[in-house]
Amino acid sequence: MPGKKDTYPKKAPLSLLIILVAATAVTVSGTLLQYRQIIGATEDSLKFQALGIAVSLEASLKGRDLPPDATAGNVFRDIITEGRWEGIAFLALYDRRGTTLLHSNENLIGRRVEDPSIGSVAADGMPVYDSMTLGTGERVFILNFPVHIRKDERVLRLALHTYPAERVVRRAQLQMASIFAVLVILWIMSYFLLRAVKRSEELKRTMAERERLALLGEMSSVLAHEIRNPLGSIKGFAQFLLERGSAQREQESEMTGEYLGVIVAESERLETLTEDLLLYAKPVEVRPQTLSLRELAEESIAFLHPSPASGNGVTVQHFIPPDLVITSDRDKLKQILLNVIQNAMDAVGEDGRVEVRAGISDAPGGVGTVITVEDNGCGMAPALQARALSPFFTTKTRGTGLGLAIVEKLVQALGGSVEIRSEARKGTTVRIVLPGGQKEG
Ligand SMILES: Nc1ncnc2c1ncn2[C@@H]1O[C@H](COP(=O)(O)OP(=O)(O)O)[C@@H](O)[C@H]1O
Ligand SMILES: [Mg+2]
pLDDT the model gives residue 409: 92
**Residue spans of beta strands (DSSP E) within 240-295:** 288-292
* 79 C-beta neighbours (distance < 10 Å), count: 17
Give yes or no for residue 347 CB within 6 A of ligand 1. Answer: yes
Q: Give the integer Cα–Cα distance in Å for 178 and 113.
A: 45
Q: Give the integer Cα–Cα distance in Å for 192 and 16.
A: 12
343 Cα to the center of ligand 1, angstroms: 5
* Half-sphere CA count of 420, side-chain side, radius 13 A: 25
Taken in order 342, 343, 346, 352, the sign of the CA dihedral is negative
Q: Write the burial class of residue 421 (CB in 10 Å: 0-12 exposed, 13-18 middle, 19+ buried).
A: middle
DSSP 283: P
Torsion of CA 201, 202, 208, 212, to 10 degrees: 160
Residues near ion ligand 2 (CB < 5 Å) are: 343, 403
Domain boundaries 286-439, corresponding CATH code = 3.30.565.10
| HEC secondary structure over 7-75 | CCCCHHHHHHHHHHHHHHHHHHHHHHHHHHHHHHHHHHHHHHHHHHHHHHHHHHHHCCCCCCCCCCCCH
Give yes or no for residue 343 CB within 6 A of ligand 1. Answer: yes
CA angle (171 as vertex; 165, 173 as ends), nearest 5:
105
Helix axes 75-82, 11-62, angle to 10 degrees: 130
Torsion of CA 388, 389, 392, 397, to 10 degrees: 30
Give the mutation target among 314, 372, 384, 394 for probing the ligand 1 site: most ligand atoms within 8 A of CB. Answer: 394
* Half-sphere CA count of 350, side-chain side, radius 13 A: 0
Q: Considering every ligand atom shown, identify the ligand nearest to the alpha carbon of residue 398 and give its number.
A: 1
Give yes or no for residue 428 CB within 6 A of ligand 1. Answer: yes
| Residue/partner pairs of 358-364 with CB below 8 Å, 24 or more apart | 358/293, 358/294, 358/297, 358/318, 358/320, 358/321, 358/324, 359/321, 359/324, 360/324, 360/437, 360/438, 360/439, 361/433
Architecture of the CATH domain 13-167: 2-Layer Sandwich (3.30)
Q: Whose CA is nearest to atom 12 of ligand 1?
A: 388
Give the ligand 1 atom nearest the CA of 343.
Answer: 8
- List the pLDDT tens digit at each of the 441 positions of the chain: 444 444 444 566 788 889 889 999 999 999 999 999 999 999 999 999 999 999 988 887 776 655 554 445 688 888 888 888 888 999 999 998 999 988 998 888 889 998 888 999 988 989 999 999 988 888 999 999 999 887 788 999 999 999 888 898 999 999 999 999 999 999 999 899 889 988 999 999 999 888 888 887 777 777 787 788 888 888 888 888 888 766 565 666 777 788 888 888 888 888 888 888 888 877 889 999 999 999 999 999 999 875 545 455 789 999 999 999 999 999 999 999 999 999 999 999 878 899 999 999 887 777 899 999 999 999 999 999 999 999 889 999 888 899 999 999 999 999 999 999 999 999 999 999 999 888 876
| 350 contacts 313 by C-beta, under 8 angstroms | yes
Give yes or no for residue 436 CB within 6 A of ligand 1. Answer: no
396 Cα to the center of ligand 1, angstroms: 8
Residue extents of the structural domains in the chain? 13-167, 286-439
Q: Give the integer Cα–Cα distance in Å for 76 and 88.
A: 10
307 Cα to the center of ligand 2, angstroms: 14
Q: Give the integer Cα–Cα distance in Å for 369 and 360.
A: 5
Give yes or no for residue 141 CB within 6 A of ligand 1. Answer: no
Q: Considering every ligand atom shown, identify the ligand nearest to the alpha carbon of residue 420 and give its number.
A: 1
- Parallel, antiparallel or unpaired: strands 315-319 and 353-361: parallel
Q: Considering every ligand atom shown, identify the ligand nearest to the alpha carbon of residue 408 and give its number.
A: 1
Q: Give the integer Cα–Cα distance in Å for 352 and 427.
A: 10
Give yes or no for residue 395 CB within 6 A of ligand 1. Answer: yes
Give the mutation target among 273, 275, 343 for probing the ligand 1 site: most ligand atoms within 8 A of CB. Answer: 343
